[in-house]
Amino acid sequence: MTRIALVTGGVSGIGAATAKSLKAAGYSVAATYFGNGAEADAFSRQSSIPTYEWNVADFAATQKGIAAVTRDIGPVDILVNNAGITRDSSLHKMTLDQWRAVIDVDLGGCFNTCRAVIEGMRERQFGRIVNISSINALSGQFGQTNYAAAKAGVIGFTKALALEGASRGITANAIAPGYTDTEMVRAVPEAILKEIVASIPVGRLATPDEIARCVLFLVGEDAGFITGATLSINGGKYMI
């Protein structure tokens, strides 16, 4: 039986690498995007992975979108919550909109997507959920109270969901990537990026494929005893 995987924010960066890795491993894969239609079209042409557009922060849109995936491909067995945004600002300058936007997408999106698939997973007695958190959920980061709070919330959410799903064959795990060579990180000013790389013991950024390989491990059929875990992949920058 071919398992069906859905990767949110799956047309670029870590999400795209994850979607492609899952497809190469034999899964039937769909990816979501929001707003970056040209990038999604290019990704779909190159990878032959179907894409669906909706805002994961919107509960109703997420329900509708996952219903479309289920209709077109089948019920979701594997969910990778990768969609996320940043709206960086020190707290004394942060607007309410900046706070809410990040919380709603990065944390609210996990609730919305998991809520849309969890009942089906419980009925089928199988599910693999991987929620992408961040090193900054563990270490904190100047100018990211919203992002750090949302990504730390993802870890707590994942642990509670792991307890709820364990008896039904559903695992829930989080991955906390360190600084990874994506468009988001490449947008950091060059001088600051050099400082970041210098602070990483292995001396470089992660590649998206390195994060994707860890997702692939956690969603495997033989990973059923791993649940409620947070896998930190950060080149030794932050150790717990």
Q: List residues with catalytic annotation.
A: 147
Please answer whether residues 12 and 47 qualify as being in contact, where contact means their C-beta atoms are separated by less than 8 angstroms.
no
What percent of the chain is helix, strand and coil (3-state, nearest 5)?
A: 50, 15, 35
Closest Cα to residue 22, out of 56, 47, 52? 47
Residues with Cβ within 8 Å of 8's Cβ and at least 6 positions away in sequence, in order, are 15, 31, 32, 56, 79, 80, 81, 82, 83, 109, 113
Positive or negative, the CA dihedral 51, 54, 57, 62 is negative
Q: Which residue, chain included where needed, has tokens 């970041």?
A: 196
